[in-house]
Amino acid sequence: MAVRRRLSLEMTSTSVMRAWILLTALLIATAALADPVRVFVGVPPLQTFVEGVGGRHVEVYSLVQPGQSPHAYEPTPRQVAALTSADLYVGIGLPFEAGQLPRIRAADPGLRVLDAREGIDLRRLEVHDHGETGEGGAHDHGHPADPEAAARAEGFEMDPHVWTSPPLGKHIARAIRDALAEIDPANAAAYEANYDRFSAGLDRLDREIRAALDPLTRRRFMVYHPAWGYFADTYGLVQIPIEKAGKEPGPRSLAALVDQARREGVKVIFVQPQLSSKAAEQVAAAIGGRVVVIDPLAADYEASLRRAAREIAEAADQ
């Protein structure tokens, strides 16, 4: 009896030890899972990029919510407070970033800020108003550092819509991969594998868009807000923006745009859901064309670019 009892005690202590080891391992694993890298981005497509590369090891928040325009956007005090608990902010040159990020970094020196455009040849986004009276000048978006300040002084801002080009999207994804691996080296292999998968998806998307757009002879399309510049550059197209200096065009610009649309055989005016435009409707009405919504800020990045390519191809066919 005594022997059996001692035996069972030993067995019990062994299983307790095993259970303890298992529990400790579980706790460590749970702690690792419960502590993802907290990432903030400006716009929903970048959230898709960070989630694609970070997978389950990241928690991503977009400051600009669906339906908001990032050009006139300022973060709320609550968002600024939330940002101080972030590990990483992925910047893309949105107007509010230049004004807000230095302040947020001063409050939280631990926040890492990645400029996802680093190494990309930026195009200029036209914001001056061609001297038309009554339309106002370039709006004040904050105080960007050089060379953006220099561009602004000349009446330009650097075009932030870099993600609309899939090859440049790969560049952004690579920068995100490297930043995540540096912040969270334990999961570097996962970021590498996720990046490979994500960038293969961008390659497929790029081939699809080329197949849709390469045959077009009419290679200009008219948009309200010039969000598709990098897309256009990548695929040998030209966007004709209606918006002037971030605002509706005046009567003289509008008349010139209608003439241009007629000359170019434009049948479709593209608008985005964040910006309603009377001018887009007016040009469409004057040329007997139609207004089509395509969204450069959609979280479903691939679907949005595919749709843009399809709509541009269809419009060029008409």
Point out which residues bind Zn ion (CB under 5 A): 227
- What is the Cα–Cα distance from 179 to 54, expressed in whole angstroms? 10
Q: Which residue number, 226 or 289, has a Cβ lying nearer to Zn ion?
A: 226
Nearest Cα to Cα of residue 68 among 88, 96, 93, 87: 96
Q: Which residue number, 166 or 229, has a Cβ lying nearer to Zn ion?
A: 229
Q: Which residue number, 45 or 54, has a Cβ lying nearer to Zn ion?
A: 45
Q: Which residue number, 68 or 79, has a Cβ lying nearer to Zn ion?
A: 68
**Cα–Cα separations (whole angstroms), residue 62 to 66, 103, 201, 276:** 9, 18, 22, 22
The pair phi, psi for residue 21, each rounded to 5°, is: -60, -45
Q: Which residue number, 98 or 227, has a Cβ lying nearer to Zn ion?
A: 227
Closest separation in Å from C-beta 294 to Zn ion: 13
**Cα–Cα separations (whole angstroms), residue 309 to 229, 269, 270:** 13, 14, 12
How many other C-beta atoms can be found within 10 angstroms of the C-beta atom of residue 155? 15
Closest separation in Å from C-beta 152 to Zn ion: 16
For 162-174, letters b (16+ CB in 10 Å) and e give: bbbbbebbbbbbb
Closest separation in Å from C-beta 275 to Zn ion: 8
Amino acid at 103: R
How many other C-beta atoms can be found within 10 angstroms of the C-beta atom of residue 218? 16
CB-facing half-sphere around the CA of 12: CA atoms within 13 A = 6
Residue nearest to Zn ion (CB): 227
Closest separation in Å from C-beta 250 to Zn ion: 21
Q: Which residue number, 63 or 227, has a Cβ lying nearer to Zn ion?
A: 227
Closest separation in Å from C-beta 227 to Zn ion: 4
Closest separation in Å from C-beta 241 to Zn ion: 10
